[in-house]
Chains A and B, each alone.
Chain A
Amino acid sequence: MEDISQHPYADLLRKEMMPNIWCSGCRIGRIKNAFIETIQHLGYDPDKCTVVSGIGCSSRVAGYLNLDSIHSTHGRAIPTALGVKLANPELKVSVMGGDGDILGIGGNHFLALGRHGYNVNVFCMNNYGYSMTGFQHGPTTPLGARTATTSGGSPYRPVNPVAVALASQYTFVARSTSSHPYHLVDCMISAMQNEGPSFVEILLPCMLFERRNKIKSLEALFLEKAKIKETLSQEDVNQTDFAKEISLGVFRDARVQEKPQLSLVKAKKKSGAKKPHVHFKSRPSGIKYLQIRMEGTGGQGIVQGGKTLIHAAMNMDPRLNSTVTKRYGPEMKGGSCLTDVLLSSQPIDYPFVEIPDYLLMMSDIVTKERGGEVVINKKGTIVVDESMVNVSVLEKVPKTAKVFKVPATQIARENFRVVVANNVLMGFVCKVTSIIDKSCLKAAILKSAPPGTEEMNLAAFDKGYEYGKMQ
């Protein structure tokens, strides 16, 4: 019994996986052999080579090669390979895939790789359709060819992979067939040596295609019609019809262009300005269960206000349990928006506010959506932004509830900018309700304020605090 371990390719073959599963007379194995020959000729360390493949007959190559290889999901071989390349740029990454995998389902990734310009070699085995599942119509099926899904002949013109690769800025583009293995090895060596994204289209005779279209031997046709050319013109790009003539050879072997200076990225941020700092002291708050709701129109800083509140509460008493829940529509500005903040001394089971103890209304849009009803605890507190809310909605509020009014948006617009209205309200709330300490709230505002606007946010808070003193 002869053993495969004597084989010259044995180092690069996974012996436990052999023999392979391909049909008798399938030439994918030859492409695998050509790849092994390439690596041996170039003298690459097998540990520094990686093969990534998708799904399909041709993607089995990754399983038979004794390299670090990934058999990824259908069509996503190129993004996986790109990830490998980004994680470890030393590796020589190759993608083995069929036409359905690379051009059909992973078509956009194929375009994007040329744009990104990373050194990934794509070897696309074009057998004119999806042959693993019984030969369905694919992107490269020739016009008029019969497949399982186009039994009367394909009515669509095929994609020309070489033309697409040339258009999407691949630095190495070549066409070869599995019937010319020495030429294929030559193309693969050049592709591996090229420092940009390289693409080799490998035409492959498939038995299912031969049977459906009553071709005796596609390999014989390839050997007869294919012509290896040293210099190729634009006409040769389109010569893919195996009934007439196929032009084989290297269409482009260019160097990677240097990336120009990026002009769209912003200049470096100013590093001179020092961030103000607020000292605060934590203390036991004595809060047992407190429900705070902040509601208003999207864009007023409702979500930001809720975050500020919960940060401030955590600053004040780190032992409290707390949740923050946000509800808003798909629109960034103008929709209804509310934030629920729960503070509790015990673990919180339900993260939504049922009946709020404190209701901070920055606009009446939520109330209108609810049908004019204001949900509030009988002994609760309502803080209303006078300038945005129609005060008539408060008529149905129980008399026992306290109501405070502050023209927060108007103050913000007159003194600063409208965007700090929520901080004006926050300062007012801090003064009139005294649930959270002033220094804790200020520190929370500082934490979430965008760089450069800390001073304005704190000034707005102080303005609201002073307005609260007048009440």
Chain B
Amino acid sequence: MNGYLHWETDRKAYETTNDKQHGRQVMKHEVPASQYWNIEQCTIPVGKVTIIASFCKGGDDCDDCIRFCPEKVLQRGAEPNEKGFFPPVVVEEGRCTVCGRCQLYCSENAIFVEKVGERSVTAEEIALREENGE
């Protein structure tokens, strides 16, 4: 396999073994969060999400972009487009990290992301993420 994008690394990262002493599943290659994120110098890209509302066929059948977004940037919109579907809307600008999942998952090519800048990540934010279990 080619190790395309995160798939290969993700799979290794989440490999688990059975810890008989404590009777639970333990991560095999567990890394401390500070080391994993390299907080001292870490920056995260900031993206701009563009939704082409006229292409979208979102609704109860699809909603892929909303379901698969790891940052939960999107939310079902209230205004229907001309076909009667409900395109998503961006909840909060600047939360997108340009993972590109939405543009790969969207069958209609109705959504895409562009990198507009970068922001540095603070230790508090990482701690908050871990608390929320993300």
Interface residues of A (CB under 8 A from B): 1-4, 6-9, 13, 18-20, 22-30, 32-34, 37, 41, 181-183, 185-186, 189-190, 207, 228, 230, 250
The answer to whether A25 and B4 touch across the interface, beta carbons within 8 angstroms, is no
Could you pull out 25 A-B pairs where Cβ atoms are within 8 angstroms?
A2-B50, A2-B53, A4-B109, A6-B50, A6-B114, A7-B109, A7-B112, A13-B109, A19-B57, A20-B109, A22-B108, A25-B59, A26-B107, A29-B108, A29-B109, A30-B105, A30-B107, A33-B107, A33-B109, A34-B104, A181-B104, A182-B5, A185-B104, A186-B7, A190-B2
Assuming A2-B50, A2-B51, A13-B109, is B57 touching A24 (CB within 8 A)?
yes
Q: Which residue of A lies closest to B53 (CB)?
A: A2
Residues of B within 8 A of A4 (CB): 52, 55, 109
Quick check: A186 and B109 within 8 Å, CB to CB?
A: no
Residues of A within 8 A of B7 (CB): 182-183, 186
Contact with A along B48-77 (1 / 0, CB 8 A): 001111110111011000000000000000
In angstroms, Cα B125 to Cα A301, docked, is 95
- Please judge, given known A-B contacts A34-B104, A186-B2, whether A24 and B51 are in contact too, CB under 8 Å: no
Docked complex Cα distance between A166 and B51 (Å): 42
| Chain A residues within 8 Å of B2, by CB | 186, 189-190
Which B residues from 99 to 130 make CB contacts under 8 A with A? 103-110, 112, 114
Complex CA gap A230/B8 in Å reads 10
Nearest-CB residue, chain A, relative to B68: A181
Question: Known: A4-B55, A228-B11. Is A9-B109 also a contact (CB below 8 A)?
Answer: yes
- Inter-chain contacts of A22 with B (CB < 8 A): 107-108
Pair B103/A33 contact, Cβ less than 8 Å: yes
Binding site for A on B (CB under 8 A): 1-7, 11, 50-55, 57-59, 61-62, 85, 103-110, 112, 114
Q: Are B57 and A25 touching (Cβ within 8 A)?
A: yes
The CA-CA distance from A19 to B53 in the complex, in Å, is 11
Q: Bound state CA distance, A394 and B62, in angstroms?
A: 88
Q: Assess whether A18 is in contact with B109, with CB atoms less than 8 Å apart.
A: yes
Task: Give the docked Cα–Cα distance between A2 and B49 (Å).
Answer: 11
Distance in Å: Cβ of B70 to nearest Cβ of chain A: 13
Return A214 CB to nearest CB of chain B, in Å.
Answer: 16
Cα(A426)–Cα(B61), bound, Å: 81
Q: Are A24 and B50 in contact (CB under 8 A)?
A: no
Is the pair A182, B4 in contact by a Cβ cutoff of 8 Å?
yes
Chain A residues contacting B5 (CB-CB under 8 Å) are 182, 185
In the bound complex, what is the Cα–Cα distance between A25 and B61 (angstroms)?
Answer: 5
* Chain B: minimal CB distance from A275 (Å): 60
Contact of B108 among A20, A37, A41, A183 (CB under 8 A): A20
Closest 6 A-B residue pairs measured CB to CB?
A29-B107, A25-B61, A24-B57, A19-B55, A182-B7, A24-B61
| B106–A190 touching, CB < 8 Å | no
Residues of B within 8 A of A25 (CB): 57, 59, 61-62
The 8 Å CB contact of A2, one of B52, B58, B59, B85, is B52
* Nearest B-chain residue to A31, judged by Cβ: B107
Answer whether A30 and B104 are a contact pair too, CB < 8 Å, given A2-B51, A19-B54.
yes
**Minimum CB distance partner of A4 in chain B:** B52
Q: Using A18-B109, A22-B107 as known contacts, say yes or no to A182 and B6 having CB atoms under 8 A apart.
A: yes
Pick from A8, A18, A30, A181: contact of B55, CB under 8 Å: A18
Residue in B closest to A30 when the chains form the complex, CB atoms:
B107
Task: Assess whether A24 is in contact with B59, with CB atoms less than 8 Å apart.
Answer: yes
In the assembled complex, the Cα of A18 lies from the Cα of B112 at a distance in Å of 15
Query: Which of B4, B62, B105 is the one whose CB lies under 8 Å from A24?
Result: B62
In whole angstroms, how far apart are the Cα atoms of A32 and B108 in the complex? Answer: 10
Interface contact A250-B1, CB-CB below 8 Å: yes
Flag if A33 contacts B53 (CB, 8 Å). no
- Residues in B neighbouring A185, C-beta threshold 8 A: 4-5, 104
